[in-house]
Amino acid sequence: MPGRSLMKIESADHRRRTINVDWTTQPEPVPNVLKIAHVADEATGNAHDRFRAPTMLGGTVDFDVPHERSESAKQVLAEGRKKGANLSGADLPAIEKAIADPPDHFICHAARNGWYGLERRAFVRSTGVVGHIGGLQRLQPPRPKDGEAVLITFRKAGTVQGWIDEVAMPARFSSRAILVIAATFAAPLLRILRFPSFGFNLFGANKSGKSTITTVAGSIIGLPNEAALPNLNTTTAGLLQLAGVFNDIGLPLNEMALLGPKAYEQLGPAIYALGESRDRTRHKASTFASDIEQSSFSTIFFFNSERSIDELARQIGRERPGGEKARCLDVPALQGGRRTVFDCRPGGVSEKDFHRWALGQMVKLRKGCQANHGVVFDAYLERLIALGDEVEVRARQYADAFVHSLDLQDAESEIEHAAKCFGVIYAGARIAMDVGILPRPWRPLNVRRAITRCFQEAQRTARLGDPVLRKAKEQLHARLLHLNLPRRDSVQPGVDLGYRWQDGDGEHVTIQATQFSSWFEKRELTAILTWLDQTGALRKANPENIPNGSGHDWAVSWPRWTKGGKKVRSITFRLPN
């Protein structure tokens, strides 16, 4: 019908009604503000209360409020808002309730890394705590100071068995690798035995594997590669601060060359300070000022270098005092004429192939360290803690047995002290073997022989400053300068007594053995040959032979450069720097 609506109109009484709800009658949601912990810092004596509150994004944030301000809801509110908590003045009642509630637990930040407490039931590391102290208290690593740089970063990767298979097993063919591994496991024993800190310097030719086995030591404590190792590009004060981070663990230090041409000026005082096991007491206004007890540390430190510390001292006209040598012996990196730190040839490897095999092992060691680091030290500490008081008993027995085996009758006090240091190192290896960290085919006899070899060669090297060797070196220099040896390609057989030639690791000379021996008195000859052998400069017919002043059976008998092509024993060595 025209004009009639096509839509049905309902009366007002039939329309849907809207119900208005008075929201003001509903309670506001209360934020879940909690006091989750009471935190104490043993290094500073300060205490905090830790709260947890929601954020605007739906998560939560934890924030600490100094204990002297944590009773004020307004102070807690202000600290929480600084950290991003979604709190306002309306939340003060909820905060007051959280303040009144007891904390869930208590957290104690240890004053330093290393053994905790006199009973040594827990060991504090930067990566966490091994063992426990019982009760409601939770022990944690030292609390970082605001604005303080992280000196070193420890990591964990791989497995204990992976480290054993890929690092410990190939390393046993190197007496120097055995030494650094044993020293790293011995470091936690120092405080138990109440023995002072000490160290050694592994020195020798470049590219011989020194940094590789230093990395092996680093892998035990959580440093996966050479780049992660601490180095000596620092001041003495910085080195002592670093030693505090390595308290009760080994301190492997790389790249002594970073100290420059006058390295000993810095290294000498640092060795004394490290050996005294105590940081300098800084002025109280210093950012790093701390109680002297908190600044003390215990560590076994070891460097690697192309030159001995004795040589570095002589470069600036100094001689190392005996007490300093006892604190840090020079250990030659190369033994028996080998060109790498691997000096124990496996039965299935020929003498011809040994050097190439050793280079391959160095590559494998680095890969093994990268894949497995940090976890083995935690496992070792857990087993030490499980042994309880038995640790000290065994460690003393092993250390004493090692010193007794050296048969050091009427030795100087410095040598006796150095022998005790190496005895502690031996004890570290033996206990690691006892608790299964260094299982067979690691054997006590082989380990003792390896560490004894290192000590004896270090002991001989420590006499580098004696007048007999000094005179022999002067004589050798004068003779070589006077002879003006020809190059190998221009030598005249039967006329020349020797020649010089270039090899990959430097310039070498070859002198007829009888002529060479005639330049020196017997004591001088023994001293110069021993020195050349210990520094890895001497070439020998059999790497296992030890040269002396009587006879030349150990010397090389090639090439046929004399008149008539006759073989003659010759003294061949790399020219010292």
Identify the pLDDT of residue 294: 45
Residues 259, 173 within the same domain: yes
The answer as to whether 286 is a domain residue is: yes
The answer as to whether 359 is a domain residue is: yes
Please give the average per-residue pLDDT across 159-171, as a whole number.
98
Domain end (from 461, 491, 507): 461
Identify the pLDDT of residue 564: 63
Residues 217, 263 within the same domain: yes
Helices (H), 372-505: 375-387, 390-406, 413-434, 444-461, 467-483
Question: Rounded distance, CA 145 to CA 148, Å?
Answer: 5
Domain end (from 461, 482, 502): 461
Residues 404, 484 within the same domain: no
Identify the pLDDT of residue 549: 59
Identify the pLDDT of residue 3: 45
Question: Rounded distance, CA 61 to CA 40, Å?
Answer: 20
Identify the pLDDT of residue 136: 63
The answer as to whether 134 is a domain residue is: no
**What pLDDT digit, counting tens, does each position of 467-507 carry?**
787 788 889 988 988 888 888 888 776 667 888 888 866 78
- For the record, the structure tokens of 345 come out as 């040839």
- 179 or 287, which is more confident: 179
Please give the average per-residue pLDDT across 296-302, as a whole number.
92
The answer as to whether 456 is a domain residue is: yes
Domain end (from 424, 446, 461): 461
Please give the average per-residue pLDDT across 126-137, as a whole number.
85
Contacts of 266 (CB under 8 A, 6+ apart): 235, 236, 259
- Is 70 exceeded by the pLDDT of residue 563? no
Residues 228, 91 within the same domain: no
- Is 70 exceeded by the pLDDT of residue 351? yes
Question: To the nearest whole percent, how much of the chain has pLDDT over 90?
Answer: 54
The answer as to whether 129 is a domain residue is: no
The answer as to whether 23 is a domain residue is: no
- Is 80 exceeded by the pLDDT of residue 133? yes
| Helix axes 522-534 and 444-461, enclosed angle (nearest 10) | 120
Please give the average per-residue pLDDT across 115-122, as a whole number.
92
Question: To the nearest whole percent, how much of the chain has pLDDT over 70?
Answer: 84
Residues 525, 437 within the same domain: no
**126 band by pLDDT with thresholds 50, 70 and 90:** very high
Residues 383, 276 within the same domain: yes
User: What kind and span of H or E run contains 204?
Assistant: none
∠ CA 120-223-388, nearest 5°, is 15
Residues 454, 480 within the same domain: no
Identify the pLDDT of residue 276: 78
Cβ–Cβ < 8 Å for 362, 176: no
Residues 265, 413 within the same domain: yes
Which of 112-126, 140-154, 221-235 has the highest average model confidence (pLDDT)?
112-126
- Is 90 exceeded by the pLDDT of residue 277? no
Please give the average per-residue pLDDT across 438-445, as a whole number.
97
The answer as to whether 131 is a domain residue is: no
Which of 31-40, 307-316, 417-426 has the highest average model confidence (pLDDT)?
417-426
Identify the pLDDT of residue 284: 34
Question: What does the chain come to in residues?
Answer: 577
Closest CA to 207 of 329, 362, 87, 79: 362
Question: Rounded distance, CA 77 to CA 95, Å?
Answer: 7
Residues 236, 294 within the same domain: yes
**What pLDDT digit, counting tens, does each position of 354-391 carry?**
999 999 999 999 999 999 999 999 999 999 999 999 99
The answer as to whether 428 is a domain residue is: yes
**What pLDDT digit, counting tens, does each position of 226-240 carry?**
999 998 776 777 788
In sequence order, what are the beta bridge partners of 572? Answer: 510, 539
Identify the pLDDT of residue 147: 66
Burial-class residue 333 by CB neighbours within 10 Å (0-12, 13-18, 19+).
buried
- Is 60 exceeded by the pLDDT of residue 349? yes
Identify the pLDDT of residue 311: 85
Residues 335, 361 within the same domain: yes
Identify the pLDDT of residue 481: 87
- Is 80 exceeded by the pLDDT of residue 535? no
Residues 243, 370 within the same domain: yes
| Helix axes 354-371 and 210-221, enclosed angle (nearest 10) | 30
Closest CA to 565 of 484, 509, 491: 491
How many domains are there within the chain? 3
- Is 80 exceeded by the pLDDT of residue 24? no
Structural domain boundaries enclosing 509 = 467-574
Residues 195, 53 within the same domain: no
∠ CA 318-305-155, nearest 5°, is 130
**322 band by pLDDT with thresholds 50, 70 and 90:** confident
- 306 or 380, which is more confident: 380
Which of 142-146, 206-210, 429-433, 570-574 has the highest average model confidence (pLDDT)?
429-433
**550 band by pLDDT with thresholds 50, 70 and 90:** low
pTM of the model: 0.75
Identify the pLDDT of residue 483: 84
Please give the average per-residue pLDDT across 173-200, as a whole number.
97
Identify the pLDDT of residue 565: 63
Cβ–Cβ < 8 Å for 473, 525: no
Please give the average per-residue pLDDT across 429-448, as a whole number.
98
**335 band by pLDDT with thresholds 50, 70 and 90:** confident
